[in-house]
Structure 1
């Protein structure tokens, strides 16, 4: 979502062509006098979007902010419309969105935020690092970190843990190990301390109509600058070490960073130190928080549904026995995979995705103006009553192969879609399924907290604990 003013082309003819439809042409909530839907979106944007779809349909016009600072934007909820925005007309819906601009300024112009020729060059250079064969080689790092969690759970005095904190720690250690190899300990401590400060700063700025310049010496700006400098310095140090090591005659580094610093081809050249750092920071953001969120809610849902948890544990015993799961087991654990996909339906890590229309476009029977801020919301589409029967119910059977084949491609899109689909989709599935298999085979989980409040930030954020009671099995 965007709470900033959309640009309007200059000139009377272009103004008529690009003028937003009248409020009654595209339906939407009236909101409060003067500020429109601003308070609803600030208090609970996910709930506001869900209510807008239920009351006004699959393309909704929202206004937020007082006169002079008012933002008008459009939410698209039907899968056919989502496909247009992310897939078939992706070139017309760009990442010229306030949130992406703030991410770009804080984390650099990596794959998540780059566009046009920059994006295509980066994608060609980075894609070989995410082939199925290469990603499958990271399985041992995943199970090593998951085994460490189960060992800590077995030796711990407290049998109640918060899955939000536990999975954040597990996902961060895993991605740091895969990115940095042996530098995992130092990296994890710095990232754990710095990343939340930067994330909070980015989200606050993205959704504030009047922004204080970043170079003003306010306490928030100074704190952001301090942690950003520290995180950049960590990455730069490790990158320099990897470049030196890669030049050695017998160099044999298989961590992702070593592969990044040596990636290149005749057409695109190589990534310089700044570009490598920007990719690393985006991988840390996208590969850490999103996976942590998905795993935490998958485990919490299974803790609330003991019969399903028992069924999955029986599958794990049957397929794995006492051995460590490997990448080859990903296709041998269909029930666990179905449960994980259902968790991502109910709690998509990228709950709301923003774009900006270049030209006026008809989407799902409604004409969106040029320059319009447009959002698609997995949080809402994944709960669409026309697509999902009893949508709030946890039901892994929804992802049986025959039922998946019957649904629209964009009825479920936790990894986005089209030319900007998540490059790490296979990695996320591999990491999550193998880690969940390791944890569930070791422990039975019973929910302490039944409901976990959430909010939309850069990624979906749990705003309360997701505690479970552990019992070793």
Structure 2
């Protein structure tokens, strides 16, 4: 926000066996509450380093104390997210706050709701369909590159710029021509709602949302405005007759036309829920990956030049497209390494349904459980010299030599991110176009991060733009 010190017994199956997980040391009355509040990612790294691969972290005063069970090994992450995923549900307080603010879309829904939504949405995220979005990504990237020519002093904040680029790209793919007003509302309202979700999601006690507190009123106003613009676009799209071959060749039109047989189409409220989740998850995560990939390349000129030469050789002067994704292996390695060091979802939470053994330690029924890409991606068992930027970690041979869940920036198992191919496609195209146009030098060599719903830069990530060498 690190050699394994666990029991060494490996991942166990369900059931109430195993030893009690070691607890991270904290303050006498409030445990690790201040540590988590001040630097949650650093606290998780310390927990793994000091106590091993399964650690209990307690936080809060008596009577309001929370207890987290943290699984830091690749094997533990695989168990929680994949092999025993049915036992680890999105039932914690944080996910409920996201549901209450951004709707019950794919990110937050469960059980039959989730299965139905996934069946309806999956055809819209096939590789062929996603590849058709490449031209929209390229157009938005080119607009950013053109604007950078007038950047004062040739300096841009790549964190800010990539957030804008990713939002414009996903909004255009979702809404087609109905994009400008939506972007302005999202840009204004999302930070208010996100801050509200975080404050309530991590608080031991909250007043009801209906109470007229200043925070409740600000969040309600932002949600009303955001919901209103989405509802108006959905209403117009339904009046026009969305869907393939109609007025809605964009993703919203396809969502509106989805359904049939045993799965009825989304109603207007369900459509809004999907749109809000796609806007949230579809721009912040990709923006983080792009921003830190550019920041790391600016810090490492040899790797930057190698990636640029690959782009020149493969793409030349033409606009890159979906077919180039497989033809730019080194640039893809750069992106994967940036996502290792700066995973957009640095911590993933679940709640255990039944008592389970993870790496030899008992996780009781009802326990809040986290897996942490931020920590596992730095685990020295899988990543020698883990803080060093090295795209060679992601050659096919190197990837084949690691456990599947040593790297999981898109989650995993049945709840893996449905948009991961789109995120990779968008990121590779954007990186290729930036590197062809500009050489990057770092202005800010250290970029702090903050953890919200996603990982974000907590300060500027400025780069100086120069003609490519």
> What SS does the aligned partner of 1:182 have?
coil
Q: In the aligned structure 2, how far is the partner of 1:250 from the partner of 1:406?
A: 46
Is 1:193 aligned to residue 188 of structure 2? Answer: yes
Q: In 2 relative to 1, CA 54–186 (structure 1 residues): closer, same or farther, beyond 3 Å?
A: same
Aligned partner of 2:6 in structure 1 is: none
Q: In the aligned structure 2, how far is the partner of 1:99 from the partner of 1:433?
A: 32
Aligned partner of 1:318 in structure 2 is: 313
Q: CA deviation at 1:99?
A: 1.1
2:407 to 412, 415, 424: 412
Q: In 2 relative to 1, CA 38–249 (structure 1 residues): closer, same or farther, beyond 3 Å?
A: closer
Contact 2:243 2:257 in 1 (8 A): no
Q: In 2 relative to 1, CA 156–449 (structure 1 residues): closer, same or farther, beyond 3 Å?
A: closer
Q: In the aligned structure 2, how far is the partner of 1:191 from the partner of 1:211?
A: 26
Contact 1:352 1:375 in 2 (8 A): yes
Q: CA deviation at 1:158?
A: 3.1
Contact 2:242 2:253 in 1 (8 A): no
Q: In 2 relative to 1, CA 322–219 (structure 1 residues): closer, same or farther, beyond 3 Å?
A: same
Q: Any stretches of 5+ residues in structure 1 without a counterpart?
A: 2-16
Q: In the aligned structure 2, how far is the partner of 1:250 from the partner of 1:394?
A: 46
Q: In the aligned structure 2, how far is the partner of 1:76 from the partner of 1:357?
A: 12
Is 1:146 aligned to residue 134 of structure 2? Answer: no
Deviations 1:299-324, CA, capped at 9 Å, x for gaps: 00000001110011100110011000
Q: Any stretches of 5+ residues in structure 2 without a counterpart?
A: 2-14
> What SS does the aligned partner of 1:264 have?
coil
Number of residues paired by the alignment?
Answer: 455
Is 1:130 aligned to residue 94 of structure 2? Answer: no
Q: In 2 relative to 1, CA 142–249 (structure 1 residues): closer, same or farther, beyond 3 Å?
A: closer
Deviations 1:328-363, CA, capped at 9 Å, x for gaps: 000000010000000000000000000000000011
Q: CA deviation at 1:265?
A: 2.1
Is 1:33 aligned to residue 28 of structure 2? Answer: yes
Q: In the aligned structure 2, how far is the partner of 1:428 from the partner of 1:248?
A: 23
2:282 to 269, 280, 287: 287
Is 1:453 aligned to residue 454 of structure 2? Answer: no
Aligned partner of 1:110 in structure 2 is: 105
Q: 4+ runs of 1 displaced by more than 4 Å? A: 247-250
Q: In the aligned structure 2, how far is the partner of 1:39 from the partner of 1:173?
A: 37
Aligned partner of 2:70 in structure 1 is: 75
Q: CA deviation at 1:455?
A: 1.9
Q: CA deviation at 1:28?
A: 2.1
2:224 to 224, 229, 234: 229
Deviations 1:411-450, CA, capped at 9 Å, x for gaps: 0000000000000010000011101111111111101111
Q: In the aligned structure 1, how far is the partner of 2:243 from the partner of 2:207?
A: 47
Is 1:243 aligned to residue 238 of structure 2? Answer: yes
1:215 to 193, 210, 225: 210
Deviations 1:184-226, CA, capped at 9 Å, x for gaps: 1111111000001111110110111111211111111100000
Q: In the aligned structure 2, how far is the partner of 1:189 from the partner of 1:262?
A: 27
Contact 1:26 1:366 in 2 (8 A): yes
Q: In the aligned structure 2, how far is the partner of 1:279 from the partner of 1:404?
A: 33
Aligned partner of 2:11 in structure 1 is: none
> What SS does the aligned partner of 1:53 have?
helix
Q: CA deviation at 1:30?
A: 2.1
Contact 1:21 1:369 in 2 (8 A): no
Q: In the aligned structure 2, how far is the partner of 1:232 from the partner of 1:191?
A: 10
> What SS does the aligned partner of 1:269 have?
coil
> What SS does the aligned partner of 2:465 have?
strand
Deviations 1:123-182, CA, capped at 9 Å, x for gaps: 000000000000000000000000001111123343111111100000000000000101
Q: CA deviation at 1:250?
A: 7.0
2:303 to 276, 300, 308: 308
Aligned partner of 1:58 in structure 2 is: 53
Q: In the aligned structure 2, how far is the partner of 1:398 from the partner of 1:282?
A: 32
Is 1:355 aligned to residue 368 of structure 2? Answer: no
1:95 to 90, 94, 117: 90
Q: In the aligned structure 1, how far is the partner of 2:356 from the partner of 2:407?
A: 23
Aligned partner of 1:4 in structure 2 is: none
Q: In the aligned structure 2, how far is the partner of 1:157 from the partner of 1:119?
A: 47
Deviations 1:98-122, CA, capped at 9 Å, x for gaps: 1111000001100000000000000
Aligned partner of 1:391 in structure 2 is: 386
Q: In the aligned structure 1, how far is the partner of 2:443 from the partner of 2:368?
A: 40
Contact 2:60 2:66 in 1 (8 A): yes
Is 1:254 aligned to residue 240 of structure 2? Answer: no
Aligned partner of 2:8 in structure 1 is: none
> What SS does the aligned partner of 2:351 have?
strand
